[in-house]
Amino acid sequence: MYKLDFTKTAGKFLQKLPAKQFRQIVTTIFRLRKLPEPHDANQLVGYPEYLRVDIGEYRIIYRVNGDTVKICVIGKRNDSEVYKRFKRGG
């Protein structure tokens, strides 16, 4: 089982979510602890060490480093803001 690590930005985003979306995203994140590269994960173009997974209307950008899954950014899927935050460093 992998460890989880969150950037400050990802943690703050989670805290602001409504309960239903919070549960959906956290359930997906806990699944990443068991299987960090699920079949629906995609590599980010230009950042091969980073992966993204979609859950509902949200996107999770993360990377696997040894035995740790680092959750870098969580944001709306159809909003380019998630990538802007990612490029700023999470």
Class of domain 3-87: alpha beta
What residue ranges do the domains of the chain occupy?
3-87
Instruction: Indicate the pTM of the whole model.
Output: 0.89
Residues 23-62 have pLDDT tens digits of 999 999 999 999 999 999 999 999 999 999 999 899 999 9
Q: How many secondary structure helices (H) and strands (E) does the chain include?
A: 3, 5
CB 32 within 8 A of CB 40: no
| pLDDT interval class at 78 (50, 70, 90) | confident
| pLDDT interval class at 90 (50, 70, 90) | low
